[in-house]
Structure 1
Amino acid sequence: MNYKKIVISLIFLLTVSGLSSLSAQQYQISLLTCDPGEMIYTSFGHSGIRVLDLSTGRDVVYNYGTFDFGAPNFVLNFAGGRLDYYLSVSTFDRFIAEYDYFQRSVREQVLNLNEQQKLDLISFLETNYLPENRAYRYDFFFDNCATRVRDAIGSVLGDQLVWNDEVQEPVDKTFRELIDEMVYFMSWSDLGIDLALGSRLDRDATPQEEQFLPKYVEASFSRAEIQGDGPTRPLVGKSRVILDFEKPEGSFGAINPYWIFWVVALIFTAITFIGFKKKKLFLGFDIVFFGILGIIGLVIAALWIGSEIPSTKYNWNILWAFPGHLVLAFVFFKKTLQPWVLRYLLFALIMADIAVVFWIMGWQSFHPSLIPLLLVLILRTNYLYYNIGKFRPVKK
Structure 2
Amino acid sequence: MKKVVEFKKMKSKNKLVYLFFLLIFMALSPGKAQVYEVSLLTCSPGEELYSSFGHSAVRVRQMTPGGQDLVFNYGTFDFRAPNFYGNFVMGRLDDYYLSVTTFPNFIREYDYFQRDVREQVLDLSVEQADNLVQRLTFESDPSRRFYSYEFFFNNCATKVRDVFETALGDELVWGEVIQEEEKTFRDLIDEYVYSFPWSDFGIDLALGSVIDRDATEREKQFLPDYMEEAFAKATLVGDGPSRALVKTSRVILEFPKEEFVMDTLNPYTVMWAVAILFVAVTFFGHKKKRLLVGFDIGLFSVLGLLGLLLTFLWFFTDHAATKWNWNILWAFPGHLVLVWGLLKKDAFPWLRKYLLFALILADAAVVFWILGWQSFHPSLIPLFLVIILRTNYLYYNIGSSSLKTR
TM-score (ref. length: structure 2) = 0.88
Where does residue 198 of structure 2 map in the other structure?
188
Where does residue 236 of structure 1 map in the other structure?
246
Aligned with 2:398: secondary structure? helix
Alignment counterpart, residue 147 of structure 2, candidates 136, 141, 144: 136
- Alpha-carbon distance, 1:354 to partner: 0.4
Please give the per-residue CA displacement for 1:354-393, whole angstroms capped at 9, x wherever unaligned.
0000001110000001111111011111111111111599
Where does residue 67 of structure 2 map in the other structure?
57
Letter in 1 for 2:342: F
Are 1:105 and 2:116 counterparts? yes
Where does residue 273 of structure 2 map in the other structure?
263
Are 1:39 and 2:32 counterparts? no
Where does residue 6 of structure 2 map in the other structure?
none
Where does residue 27 of structure 1 map in the other structure?
36
Distance 1:76 1:313 in 2: 19
Q: How many residues align?
A: 370
Aligned with 2:255: secondary structure? coil
Unaligned runs of 5+ in 2: 1-31
Where does residue 167 of structure 2 map in the other structure?
156
CA RMSD of aligned residues (A): 1.5
CA distance 1:171–1:312, change in 2 (3 Å): same
Distance 1:128 1:293 in 2: 46
CA distance 1:25–1:239, change in 2 (3 Å): farther
Which 10-residue stretch deviates more, 312-321 or 120-129? 120-129
Alignment counterpart, residue 48 of structure 1, candidates 54, 57, 76: 57
**Contact 1:335 1:392 (8 Å CA) reproduced:** no
Q: Which has the larger radius of gyration?
A: 1
- Alpha-carbon distance, 1:25 to partner: 7.3
**Contact 1:65 1:86 (8 Å CA) reproduced:** yes
TM-score (ref. length: structure 1) = 0.91
Distance 1:113 1:178 in 2: 31
**Contact 1:164 1:225 (8 Å CA) reproduced:** yes
Which 10-residue stretch deviates more, 114-123 or 39-48? 114-123
Distance 2:125 2:61 in 1: 14
Are 1:247 and 2:257 counterparts? yes
Where does residue 307 of structure 1 map in the other structure?
317
Give the 5 Å matches for 1:1-396.
26-55=35-64, 56-84=66-94, 85-165=96-176, 167-390=177-400
- Alpha-carbon distance, 1:72 to partner: 3.9
Distance 2:280 2:374 in 1: 30
- Alpha-carbon distance, 1:229 to partner: 1.0
CA distance 1:391–1:175, change in 2 (3 Å): farther
**Contact 1:110 1:239 (8 Å CA) reproduced:** yes
Aligned with 1:389: secondary structure? coil
- Alpha-carbon distance, 1:257 to partner: 0.8
**Contact 1:336 1:392 (8 Å CA) reproduced:** no
Where does residue 3 of structure 1 map in the other structure?
none
Please give the per-residue CA displacement for 1:53-78, whole angstroms capped at 9, x wherever unaligned.
11132111111001122334433322
Distance 1:24 1:225 in 2: 24
Where does residue 10 of structure 1 map in the other structure?
none
**Contact 2:289 2:402 (8 Å CA) reproduced:** no
Distance 1:194 1:169 in 2: 24
Unaligned runs of 5+ in 1: 1-22
**Contact 2:131 2:168 (8 Å CA) reproduced:** no
Please give the per-residue CA displacement for 1:116-172, whole angstroms capped at 9, x wherever unaligned.
11111111111111122111111000000010001111111112211111x433421
